[in-house]
Structure 1
Amino acid sequence: MGKTYMFVTAGERTGGGRPSEDRIVYAPHAPHAVVVLDGVSTLATTTPLGGWYADCLGMELTAGLMQAPDGDLREILERAIGSVTVRHGLVPGESPAATVAIARMHDAQVEALVLADTPVIPLLRDGGVDELRDDRLADLVTVQPRYQEYQQRLKDGEGFDSPDHRRLLQELRAIQMDHANRQVPGAYWVAEAVPEAAHHAMVRSWPAADLTGLLVMTDGVSCGVEEYGLFPSWTAMAQDCEKGGPQSVVDAVHSYEETDPDGRQHPRYKLHDDKALVWARLDTSAGDGTR
């Protein structure tokens, strides 16, 4: 089998009413590397927003991937978090944050890193899938009484704009902050102002010849498979990416949410989340590796 090339296409869409905090970043001189981030804003409005942090971290990550195209992904992420933290004087627990997914092809291997809920889904040539995901935040949140209460209130028709819905989300967010980047029971790890978080990321690699492609996305898109069942499988989502492009998949998820405007059928934090999706197709035919 000949050399494998990665061809990347992407789709993005804001949740509405404000700029998206999701980011897709390419490393221009590491032509087989892509980064997807989901910015997380702080509770205080006086601090920078998640989109700003995702921009800063994305730039540092692409620089790190270019400087060390075969470097350890966790170490590259650690240096990037540290650089942003020092440059902007960020304080742990008081700074914006971001989930991180990195997919890179190096030699004949595909390597990936996931920190928090931005999954990487490789599609195998034998027809299967191999999910790389970090579910620690979901494991923390979904057992909380406030989570179950806000879900039930939406099912009962209270809607996204009710004071109770906003209060419950704020209380859930406070619980999350108490467990972020800390060595406590139920902890989860996310890119923020703690470089050590990088060493808690999930990493894996696969022979490139074993894969047909990878889906890399924020949770505003993964819900199309996991919560909504709009796509019956990851394979079905990948097939739609091949047919109509990732933007068509992103738009389909967004349109589907419009059919459930109050969250009764699919309780969630808000009507629309920001959305970012990468389809990285792997091809062993002749080519030069350009996208």
Structure 2
Amino acid sequence: MPEITTAERAGVGPDGRPRPTEDRIVVLDNAVVLLDGATSPTPRERDGGWHSAHLAAQLRSLDPDADLADQLADAIARLAAEHGLTPGDSPSSTVAVVRWTDDVVDALVLADSPVVVFGRTTEVVSDDRLRDLRGKVAEVTAWRNREGGFWVAEADPAAAHRAVRRSWPRDEVHTVLMATDGVSCGVDDYGLFADWRSVLEITSAKGPEAVLDAIREAEANDPERVRWHRPKVHDDQAFAVLRFTP
């Protein structure tokens, strides 16, 4: 099993008030699962935090030999059946999964929670469909789980098979980073870090909390969200570092 360190921090709601995090990290014997529940624009009992928590519970065992997308599809279907969720009118979550065996490391990314793999090269496994859609349409949620839009874990199990997936021989991977967009924004939006290798260097020197600290400090210096336009001053943050021994 790789050495795994994590860092998590709750953000604030659209009203600026503190509230429980909607991000989740689940560490299993053979995998790490990371989810980011979508913040609801209006209060609802079953919000993104509810969805990410319940989907995380459905994903607490992953068969090392079964297809990852099939297993995610089954989890989405079970959750929808147990709670009567309706496609198009239900909370949702991003999903990132890294699973390993003695021979292979697999990654699955659905929506904007990237996985970064360091080995012979650096490979960013990202699902950019949501990012590409923003700025093109006014109502992004209307394009959820639709052709030409973006795909996310909600109530339609077919979305699982639209995930971005990669695999590597295990002996070619030495470190993997997993992040929700409250962390990846430090690279993709704010430019606080030159690239993901810079993030890796910080985690190696100071630990993953230092990455979260740098992002929060930058956001605190832009409280009116002028420099970086964003729906909340501080988003939830979830960050996992997996170090594979030779």
Structure 1 unmatched runs, 5+: 145-171, 285-291
Aligned partners of 1:138 and 1:80: how far apart in 2?
A: 25
Is contact 1:47–1:95 with CA below 8 Å preserved after alignment?
Answer: no
Aligned partner of 2:145 in structure 1 is 181
**Residue 9 of structure 1 aligns to which amino acid in structure 2?**
T
Where 1:283 maps in the other structure, the secondary structure is: coil
Question: Displacement, 1:43?
Answer: 4.1
Sequence identity of aligned pairs in percent?
A: 43
Question: Displacement, 1:139?
Answer: 1.0
Q: In structure 2, do the counterparts of structure 1 residues 15 and 44 end up closer, same or farther at CA, with 3 Å as the change threshold?
A: closer
Within a 5 Å distance, the mapping from 1:45-64 to structure 2 comes to 45-63=43-61
Which of residues 208, 229, 252 in structure 1 aligns to 2:170?
A: 208
Structure 2 unmatched runs, 5+: 13-17
What do residues 87-138 of structure 1 show as CA deviations (whole Å, max 9, x unaligned)? 00111111110000000112211100000000000012x4x31011100011
Which of residues 123, 132, 135 in structure 1 aligns to 2:125?
A: 132
Which stretches of structure 1, 4 residues or longer, exceed 4 Å deviation after superposition? none
Aligned partners of 1:198 and 1:187: how far apart in 2?
A: 15
Q: CA RMSD in A?
A: 1.4
Aligned partner of 1:22 in structure 2 is 23
**Residue 229 of structure 2 aligns to which amino acid in structure 1?**
P
Within a 5 Å distance, the mapping from 1:43-122 to structure 2 comes to 43-63=41-61, 65=62, 68-122=63-117
Where 2:75 maps in the other structure, the secondary structure is: helix
Q: Please say if 1:272 is aligned against 2:240.
A: no
Aligned partner of 2:34 in structure 1 is 36
Within a 5 Å distance, the mapping from 1:138-177 to structure 2 comes to 138-144=131-137, 172=138, 175-177=139-141
Aligned partner of 1:166 in structure 2 is none
Question: Displacement, 1:69?
Answer: 2.2
Aligned partners of 1:32 and 1:257: how far apart in 2?
A: 35
Where 2:142 maps in the other structure, the secondary structure is: helix
Question: Displacement, 1:182?
Answer: 2.1
Aligned partners of 2:226 and 2:53: how far apart in 1?
A: 34
**TM-score relative to the length of structure 1:** 0.80
**TM-score relative to the length of structure 2:** 0.94
Q: In structure 2, do the counterparts of structure 1 residues 220 and 46 end up closer, same or farther at CA, with 3 Å as the change threshold?
A: closer
Aligned partners of 2:7 and 2:44: how far apart in 1?
A: 31
Count of residues in correspondence between the two structures: 241
Q: Please say if 1:281 is aligned against 2:237.
A: no
Q: In structure 2, do the counterparts of structure 1 residues 222 and 46 end up closer, same or farther at CA, with 3 Å as the change threshold?
A: closer
Is contact 2:115–2:124 with CA below 8 Å preserved after alignment?
Answer: yes
Aligned partners of 2:44 and 2:183: how far apart in 1?
A: 29
Greater alpha carbon shift after TM alignment, 108-117 vs 203-212: 203-212
Q: Larger radius of gyration, structure 1 or 2?
A: 1
Aligned partners of 1:201 and 1:279: how far apart in 2?
A: 21
